[in-house]
Amino acid sequence: MQEVLIESKGIKTDQYFIPPFELRKGDLVIIYLEGGFHFDDLKAQLVAIFTGEVQHENVKINKALTFVKPFKESFFKTIFNPVRVGRYLKNNADVNNLAVSKIFETENFTKNDKVKNLGISEQKRLSLATVFSKTKNVVFDLRGESASHF
């Protein structure tokens, strides 16, 4: 029997209901949130619960997930010293992990490319590979992505 990471008896608010589920090691759970003005708040609430930052009475976190944050760079850094893919990986990933080297086999960018010049999908996959190099227990946002990208 596989390790249970999250046990949820269901999450209900005025705006949504997520039915009960268990997340076991090796499983993938997809939660589809309808778009709209409430999307960002709902996503933030769920990320806080699944990463263990906030407790919810109906959710037991046995092993917290890591949220794959989108790439952000300050305006001044973007102009004067933009981050390149190689430096981003060196600063944020376990560079000895196979997932890091594999990203260059599947993507059309190199270590010398500026992260700011990558498309949003490429930035998301770069961030995802970075987090996957450290842990397999992740939560991430696929907003704006088609199934063919992942």
In the chain, where are the structural domains located? 4-64, 75-132
pLDDT over 70 for what percent of the chain?
95
**Is 87 a residue whose pLDDT tops 80?**
yes
Cα–Cα distance measured from residue 9 to residue 20, given in angstroms and rounded to the nearest whole number: 4
Per-residue pLDDT averaged across 124-130, rounded? Answer: 91
How distant is the alpha carbon of residue 48 from its chain centre? Answer: 13
- Higher-confidence residue of 91 and 39: namely 91
Per-residue pLDDT averaged across 1-26, rounded? Answer: 90
Residue carrying the six token digits 């190099």: 133
Cα–Cα distance measured from residue 20 to residue 58, given in angstroms and rounded to the nearest whole number: 9
> In Å, what is the CA distance from 10 to each residue of 14, 21, 28, 139?
13, 7, 17, 18
Against a cut of 0.75, is the pTM above it?
yes
